[in-house]
Structure 1
């Protein structure tokens, strides 16, 4: 008897040939009232990806050997299609469509297939959900920042995101706004896939764990032959979802981020740990996606200052480290860190001990010299100056921050520094003299 995924495999193979691709696109085009090339190609990719995932899922419900068999048969189907399309000479109109597919929807699908395969493997392992979707995406952004970054690690995280979505977890819309472009592409495709799974009657979506789903199969008895008409109607009837019409569920946090640029109704709300964590994750995503809307980030910073969300201090320092001083957001992030005053000290202390020669030191020194004086601030200023070995303009700026901090200890410290600077350059010694004069009240800060 035919296994229930064999028809799917055959369908996948047919529509990932040159003739099958053209025929499938024509089916989609004929179902449109108003033709749109990008929508047609997005619909083709969405229907193909749905077929692939349902075939993988059907196989894994029967066993690990079946899953490996299906993976071997269709794992490279899109690569093979793109290679075949690239080597074929089409009439002008078809070539135009093919070129856009290879540069857009086809390339996106190619990136998603390894994630889908790993997603089904994760589902078949039934290992439980250790991290939330938000944490997994944040971890993916963090891994992109590593010097020895491995995209396969990111793919594994995103596969687990997909696994959780299969079982009912929701993806936040904000991640389609702020994520790294490549991560955003896969997240968008995962959401489209889940939307299409919901309108596919073969499975009760969301899925329960694999043991329960396999029990359901046993109760049905025998092998179930999939009705391909269910999947073909995505091409022939213009139904279903694509990456161009992504539908998403929202909760109160999603509505907060969605309305950030248009309303201020959360001003008097006390933030909980989840919204604080999400804000920190969004700021971290800026390190890998500098194209995030600056106005959105500025409004988010306004809430952080209002709510005193000092938990974001470490990531703010990371951002300041990579931003040019003249960047439009540098001043905003610096002011936010400054507004936390003493609550930012642990993050500043950790940074100055790990990055002693950082050019960011003068700007952190200015923060330490502002606000309410205290022993911890004074201790950090001294440590910053002593550990910064270069006798350059940055060290002079740190000395000026010490002078601005003021007090007898600051005067004595600068006197000692000046006395020990006999071997320093003229500019450096002059800078220390200016700082000492200001500390004594005899000079304005330059």
Structure 2
């Protein structure tokens, strides 16, 4: 269903994604927020051609698993001519690694979104990108929106390479009583022990700046969200709990990405304070990913157990393959937030693949029952396609629901 949104009236968007199902998912989400004019491209050459033929108000570049898609952003900035080179670009990724997010922004993207896709987040990011007032920088080392934040420009002590910086040949003097910004120190490698980090509240550290207090308060909110996710892991696997879990994942993932961007990952300007904040973000990110892995494993074990029970008992409610497919899809959605299939161990990959094959077997059994019992009713058996597995090529077809079967049996005596 398309939502009426007058702010997108007459606007158009180009979606670039190699995976067809991901591409279509983004298009559907854009239609839902009221942007009907959407074109699609499955590789960079097709995208460059589309941008040379038509003017777009935004570009969404998406990949479920990071390979070379940052190069797509660079190619658009470098190879397109005229206004197309400066088109707002939103990068959609399943990887929340700080170095990866920094690489995306340094490639020339206007903003970053994380999988799974939420219409609220998409609406916010699309509006922000289309109204981005930052100066477009065209330099041989970088082409894209200005990366200097409002506060960073005042503190910046490095070389000034822009023509407009000629009047600022000397770095500004630091305020009295403060020292010059220290050199960038790399944050230590993350070592997650599965425990929730002990985090102070911002008001307990009066020396924090407003930006640092915002980051620390955000980290504490994410910690609260993680605790809710941990509790939801033990809840019954049904439509309601899957929806609640999905909303929690959206909330925590988007908060985390926003905080990672706010923490100024590329060039922390506050010396040791900046690194302390990055350490806290690293710790909370590790805990978040650990909880996601536990939830995915736990939910997959429950679904697999139900599948085994159905197959071994040779009795099942018709239409159950559709429900099982939705439950497996919910597991894969969690995996996407973790960073995709590459984050899974071999054992879980095999379990997920086996579960999809077994669902296919159940679907075939449902289909055989339909053929035997309903072909005499002169009534077509409505089928609808199940969503593809994000990690498998097999497309499943779901048989008629149990209500359809019972109605047909009643009509035919």
With structure 1 as the length reference, what TM-score do the two structures score?
Answer: 0.23
| Larger Rg belongs to | 1
Q: Which has the higher helix share?
A: 1
With structure 2 as the length reference, what TM-score do the two structures score?
Answer: 0.25
Q: Which has the higher strand share?
A: 2
